[in-house]
Amino acid sequence: MNPKELFAESKTIIPGGVNSPVRAFEPYPFFVKEAKGSHIIDTEGNDYVDHCLAYGPILLGHSDDDVMADVYNQMKMGTAYGAPTENEVKLAKEVIDRVPCAEMVRFVNSGTEATMAAIRLARGFTGRNKIVKFEGSYHGAHDYVLVKSGSGAACLPDSAGIPEDTTKNTLSVPFNDVEALTKLIDEEGENIACIIVEPVMGNIGCVEPNVKYLKFLREITEENDILLIFDEVITGFRVSRGGAQEYYGVKPDLVTFAKVLGGGFPIGAYAGKKEIMSLIAPAGPVYQAGTFSGNPISIQAGLSTLNKLDYEFYGNLARKGDYLRTNISDIVEDLNLDLQVVGLASMFQIYFNPEPVVNYEIAKKSDAKRFLVYFRELLKNGVFIPPSQFECNFISGAHTEEDLDKTAQGIENALKVAWQL
Ligand code: PMP
């Protein structure tokens, strides 16, 4: 079946034709046949340089030979036990060794689960109910964080089916804004359990923090006995060996992971100070559990992946990022376009926006419609990025200079079409 027919049929039996909303782009998405290294191939045989990389999990490249060999071996020995394995202990040690704030780790199955559990833990530890998030940040699809942003105010549900009662304790402020947060904490500080933040906002494109702002977050939370949670579902094990907290030198109380940690398989984790993590059941009174938590396949894939991620790997990857971002910036300049080329390490994006993007308010002013023209042209040029201005693009260790040159050429062609040059 061709993708058009397949999508039409899929829509009759899977809501919207997809199993996660952003995958459904117009007029129809391609359907994947296979992916290897930096390339993804569709059912029609089209080969794309992949900068979506499953929305972040793929860091070594698709189907890395070493990881796959270890995973096949594990599969022969069983796929789920409901009893602990030595590999879980080994992976926990690896996380603790790399991540500055991690003294204890609990593995779960997704980023959504990780943030849900970390927020419950923060509430259990502090005995407070309110939480603070940032406008435009995404922490998964669970009720506490799936909210419309309303500055300083209690947030309203951002989905049908979420009671207002559930989100009334979720407060939000603009990112990178000292004044707004200071005011909120002056008013509500003693009721706030935690501030949860994506250190790099990867769900409105790619917005870096002002490093001073991250340090301010650490100070103001410490002064008010509020826990600081870094949601490193995207940045964890991606922007550096120890994640964004190592990259920016700011240590939170708790951290959440998913994506890269599973080496291409489903996983999530939350970690942090022993004093806090010890409250989790069965050690303590904060309940959290999962049939597939610590799944031996995902744990093996995570272990085998982390084993290949040393400082040299991250140095090489950052050079690839710099190479691509520099080439894109040159193209944008040559075409005389007033756009923002952003990113760090192996993350990048182009904002169709003349203003530097430091928060959601400004990100929203981007020309998202024109971006979709650019996206479709990129596909025609054999380059796959997420179909939205408000997602981040990624680079893997498997991307070659030839791939990145093809991407840059594709971007030049696509920008020309999008801006009718
Ligand atoms: N937090 C962040 C920062 C994310 O980017 C995501 C997913 N894109 C999540 C949490 C939720 O993770 P998952 O999709 O694995 O539930």
The 10s digit of each residue's pLDDT in 172-187 is 999 999 999 999 999 9
Residue type, 256: T
What's phi and psi for 197, nearest 5 deg? -140, 140
Q: Which two tokens stand for residue 100?
A: 């500055």
Cβ of 198 closer than 6 Å to ligand 1, yes or no, is yes
pLDDT at 151 over 60: no
What DSSP string runs through 238-283? Answer: TTSTTHHHHHHT---SEEEE-GGGGTTS--EEEEE-HHHHTTBTTT
Q: Is there a catalytic annotation at residue 259?
A: yes
Which atom of ligand 1 lies at the shortest distance from residue 115's CA?
A: 10
CA–CA dist 291, 295 (Å, integer) = 8
Catalytic residue among 48, 55, 138, 247: 138
End-to-end Cα separation, the chain, in angstroms: 36
CA–CA dist 421, 406 (Å, integer) = 20
Region 145-159 average pLDDT: 77
Closest to 33 measured CA to CA, from 58, 8, 2, 55: 2
156 — pLDDT class (breaks 50, 70, 90)? confident
Region 342-347 average pLDDT: 98
What's phi and psi for 84, nearest 5 deg? -70, 155
Question: Residues 184-231: pLDDT tens digits?
Answer: 999 999 999 999 999 999 999 999 999 999 999 999 999 999 999 999
Distances (CA, A) of 5 to 2, 29, 32: 5, 11, 14
Cβ of 170 closer than 6 Å to ligand 1, yes or no, is no
Which atom of ligand 1 lies at the shortest distance from residue 56's CA?
A: 8
Question: Residues 60-108: pLDDT tens digits?
Answer: 999 999 999 999 999 999 999 999 999 999 999 999 999 999 999 999 9
**Domains annotated on the chain, with CATH:** 65-307 (3.40.640.10), 310-421 (3.90.1150.10)
Crossing angle between the packed helical segments 86-98 and 296-307, to the nearest 10 degrees: 40
CA–CA dist 29, 284 (Å, integer) = 46
Q: Please tell me the residue having the least CA distance from ligand 1 atom 1.
A: 139
Closest to 232 measured CA to CA, from 221, 218, 247, 211: 247
Cβ of 298 closer than 6 Å to ligand 1, yes or no, is no
113 — pLDDT class (breaks 50, 70, 90)? very high
Question: Residues 276-324: pLDDT tens digits?
Answer: 999 999 999 999 999 999 999 999 999 999 999 999 999 999 999 999 9
Which atom of ligand 1 lies at the shortest distance from residue 140's CA?
A: 11
CA–CA dist 267, 106 (Å, integer) = 11
Q: Which residues contact 226 (CB under 8 A, 6 or more apart)?
A: 126, 132, 185, 189, 192, 193, 194, 195, 220
Cβ of 238 closer than 6 Å to ligand 1, yes or no, is no
Residue 310 CB neighbours (<10 A)? 10
| Alpha-helix residue ranges (DSSP H) falling in 99-177 | 111-126, 164-167
Q: What is the pLDDT of residue 286?
A: 98
pLDDT at 16 over 70: yes
Q: State the chain's mean pLDDT as an integer.
A: 97
Residue with tokens 């020995």, as numbered in its chain: 77
Cβ of 136 closer than 6 Å to ligand 1, yes or no, is no
Identify the burial level of 40 via C-beta atoms within 10 angstroms of its C-beta, where 0-12 means exposed, 13-18 middle and 19 or more buried.
buried
Q: What is the pLDDT of residue 41?
A: 98
Which atom of ligand 1 lies at the shortest distance from residue 258's CA?
A: 15
Closest to 346 measured CA to CA, from 194, 236, 266, 251: 236
Q: Are 379 and 48 in contact (CB under 8 A)?
A: yes
Which atom of ligand 1 lies at the shortest distance from residue 198's CA?
A: 3
Residue 216 CB neighbours (<10 A)? 17
Q: Does pTM top 0.90 for this prediction? A: yes
CA of 5 to the centre of ligand 1 (A): 30
Question: Residues 262-276: pLDDT tens digits?
Answer: 999 999 999 999 999
Q: Are 140 and 110 in contact (CB under 8 A)?
A: yes
CA of 232 to the centre of ligand 1 (A): 9
- Ligand 1: which of 18, 52, 203, 298 to mutate, most ligand atoms within 8 Å of CB? 203
Q: Is there a catalytic annotation at residue 320?
A: no
Q: Is there a catalytic annotation at residue 168?
A: no
149 — pLDDT class (breaks 50, 70, 90)? low
CA of 258 to the centre of ligand 1 (A): 7
Q: What is the pLDDT of residue 98?
A: 98
Q: Which two tokens stand for residue 131?
A: 């939480």
Crossing angle between the packed helical segments 296-307 and 65-76, to the nearest 10 degrees: 150
Q: Which two tokens stand for residue 216?
A: 């301010």
Catalytic residue among 64, 177, 231, 253: 231
- Strands 39-42 and 130-134 come out as unpaired
CA–CA dist 338, 306 (Å, integer) = 39
Which atom of ligand 1 lies at the shortest distance from residue 20's CA?
A: 14
Cβ of 202 closer than 6 Å to ligand 1, yes or no, is yes
- Ligand 1: which of 18, 109, 134, 138 to mutate, most ligand atoms within 8 Å of CB? 138
Question: Residues 393-415: pLDDT tens digits?
Answer: 999 999 999 999 999 999 999 99
- Ligand 1: which of 19, 230, 234 to mutate, most ligand atoms within 8 Å of CB? 234
Cβ of 140 closer than 6 Å to ligand 1, yes or no, is yes
Q: What is the pLDDT of residue 401?
A: 98
Cβ of 234 closer than 6 Å to ligand 1, yes or no, is yes
167-185 core/surface letters (b: 16 or more CB in 10 A; e: else): bbbbbbbbbbbeebbeebb
- Name the strand (E) or helix (H) holding 328: helix 311-334
Region 356-380 average pLDDT: 97
Q: What is the pLDDT of residue 232?
A: 98
What DSSP string runs through 274-315? Answer: HHHHTTBTTTSSB----TTTT-HHHHHHHHHHHHT--HHHHH
CA–CA dist 245, 122 (Å, integer) = 19
Q: Which two tokens stand for residue 279?
A: 């409250």
